[in-house]
Amino acid sequence: VVVNDLGGSAFGEGSGSSRPADLVVNEIRAAGGKAAANYDSVEDGEKLVKTALESFGRIDIIINNAGILRDRSFARISDADWGDLLSSDCVNKMKVRTNGFVKLLQ
């Protein structure tokens, strides 16, 4: 499992703490699983794929549930927040899937 987390807030702000990803990796390993941490943004989907290939040599499945929270109704959301949501929840997921899917087929 590649555990990806920027270490920012639930609102998509900030980054720089490896602690969230490291904690999950340690839990997986303690339970007998194999895991590697990745701290890159999903904007750089190829880096997540690279971590998987370097750590495990292949990709068997892609689960990409990255996203940010903008707790506002459509009537109250700003254009900037809407853009952030689309980028994080749609565009960047496609970057991970596109890069990973090519490797998955190989």
Contact status, residue 49 vs residue 5, Cβ threshold 8 Å: no
Q: Quickly state the pLDDT bin for 12 (edges 50, 70, 90).
A: low
Read off the pLDDT of residues 47-58 as tens digits, 9 standing for 90 and up: 989 999 999 999
Burial class (CB in 10 A: 0-12, 13-18, 19+), 10: exposed
Q: Alpha-carbon distance 15 to 43, whole Å? A: 14
DSSP assignment of 48-74, as one string? Answer: HHHHHHHHHSS---------------T
Question: Each residue of 60-91: pLDDT tens digit?
Answer: 888 877 777 777 777 888 998 888 888 777 77
Distance from chain centroid for Cα 13: 14
18 vs 10 pLDDT, higher one: 18
